[in-house]
Amino acid sequence: MSEKSSNIGIVAGNGQFPLLFARAARKAGMQVYAAAHTNETEEDLAQETDGILWVKIGELQKIMDFFLQNNVTKAVMLGGITKARLMTDFAPDALALEALASIDATGDDMVLRAVAQAVEKHGIQVIAATSILPHLLAPEGVWTQRRPTEQEAADIKLGHELLQKIGPLDIGQCLILTRGSVICVEAIEGTDAAIKRAGELEASDAVVVKMPKPNQDHRFDLPAAGAKTIENMIPNGCTALALAAGAAVVFDREAMVELADSHNIAIVAINNNQE
């Protein structure tokens, strides 16, 4: 059965990606059913789906029952969950506890893979959203009128090398550097907060580098950026953004580039496999 002939489910977190995916999937003739997380998922998602269920973080059995009731055969996992909220609002049910018991660590990748395996045990295939929305993947090259300066390019190269080394530790997907020094490492706070922290440290001419972790499972948790990323960079001393070509999700690319050009910010997507 092709992806276009089946009902598709969304395990939805925060951000734009669940909405964009739902719109595109319905436009392609698919019926979309979303399991949305309270206080995380945009309420507008309800208008973009054929059915929606609001759940608390960890209510995995409710999600499975909802999908099976609506003949969902494929599912995507889109958007994030605020990591700080995982520390306070996580109330796993028996199925979620069973999934977590199958892993030795609780990093993002391990948890997401465990959840995906639990979903697939119920006969629902977890797929990459970009298999349906390939146009959201970052194309290689310089996108903006201004190319990265020599110093920015050196910082991008260094940031890429460092992310390849710390990626297996499952810490984060983003570094902020300036003049050969790391200012911020994304951790539990997320990219936007890391950029803000760079501003609080009075960063200038800083480079934001976002790359997937080595051996990243592209079905979930790809690094993402959009116009909001540029909006956050502008007041916080960040002058260049580097993404992984073909392995980063980009929202509103035209608006993103227009905003970057108007503030002399460089955007480049590089080959994530380059040395």
Instruction: For residue 251, give every residue at least 6 positions away whose Cβ sits within 8 Å of its Cβ, in sequence order, or none.
Output: 16, 17, 20, 136, 224, 225, 226, 227, 228
Write the pLDDT tens digit of every residue in 134-166: 888 999 999 999 999 999 999 999 999 999 999
**pLDDT computed for residue 104 by the predictor:** 61
Distance of CA 181 to the CA centre of its chain: 25
Q: Identify whether residues 78 and 141 lie together within a single domain.
A: no
The residue among 131, 164, 179 that closes a domain is 131
The stretch 234-257 carries a mean pLDDT of: 94
How many angstroms separate the CA atoms of 234 and 195, rounded? 10
Instruction: For residue 111, give every residue at least 6 positions away whose Cβ sits within 8 Å of its Cβ, in sequence order, or none.
Output: 100, 103
Least confident of 54-58, 105-109, 264-268: 105-109
Domain, as residue range, for 186: 137-270
The secondary structure element, H or E, covering residue 230 is helix 227-233
Q: Identify whether residues 204 and 262 lie together within a single domain.
A: yes
Helix, strand and coil percent figures for the chain, each rounded to 5: 40, 25, 35
Is residue 275 domain-resident? no
Q: Identify whether residues 9 and 62 lie together within a single domain.
A: yes
The residue among 131, 162, 178 that closes a domain is 131
pTM attached to this predicted model: 0.81
Report the chain's mean pLDDT, rounded to a whole number. Answer: 89
How many angstroms separate the CA atoms of 98 and 259, rounded? 46
The secondary structure element, H or E, covering residue 26 is helix 17-27
**pLDDT computed for residue 122 by the predictor:** 87
- The CA dihedral of 14, 256, 216, 147, to the nearest 10 degrees, is -160
Distance of CA 261 to the CA centre of its chain: 24
Q: Identify whether residues 92 and 159 lie together within a single domain.
A: no
Residue 163 near residue 177 (C-beta atoms within 8 A): no
CATH of the domain at 208: 3.40.140.80
Is residue 194 domain-resident? yes
Q: Identify whether residues 77 and 100 lie together within a single domain.
A: yes
How far is CA 19 from each of CA 13, 16, 24, 44, 117, rounded to the nearest angstrom?
10, 6, 9, 8, 24
Structural domains of the chain, count: 2
CATH of the domain at 126: 3.40.50.20
Closest C-alpha to 239, from 198, 209, 205, 262: 205
Q: Identify whether residues 58 and 24 lie together within a single domain.
A: yes
Q: Identify whether residues 110 and 228 lie together within a single domain.
A: no
Task: List the structure tokens of 111.
Answer: 């948890």
**pLDDT computed for residue 108 by the predictor:** 61
Write the pLDDT tens digit of every residue in 224-235: 899 999 999 999
Paired strand residues for 55: 37
pLDDT of residue 1 exceeding 50, the answer is no
Task: List the structure tokens of 175.
Answer: 């570094």
Write the pLDDT tens digit of every residue in 72-124: 999 999 888 776 666 667 778 888 888 777 766 555 667 778 888 888 888 99
The stretch 18-35 carries a mean pLDDT of: 91
Q: Identify whether residues 150 and 255 lie together within a single domain.
A: yes
Least confident of 33-47, 114-128, 195-209, 245-259: 114-128
Q: Identify whether residues 127 and 30 lie together within a single domain.
A: yes
Paired strand residues for 53: 35
If DSSP codes are grouped into helix, strand and coil, which group holds residue 132?
coil
The residue among 99, 131, 163 that closes a domain is 131
Q: Identify whether residues 123 and 156 lie together within a single domain.
A: no
Of 251 and 140, more confident:
140
State the residue for tokens 């890391």: 194
**pLDDT computed for residue 132 by the predictor:** 80
Q: Identify whether residues 119 and 157 lie together within a single domain.
A: no
How many angstroms separate the CA atoms of 175 and 131, rounded? 27
Q: Identify whether residues 75 and 165 lie together within a single domain.
A: no
**pLDDT computed for residue 91 by the predictor:** 79
Write the pLDDT tens digit of every residue in 158-190: 999 999 999 888 788 999 999 999 999 998 778
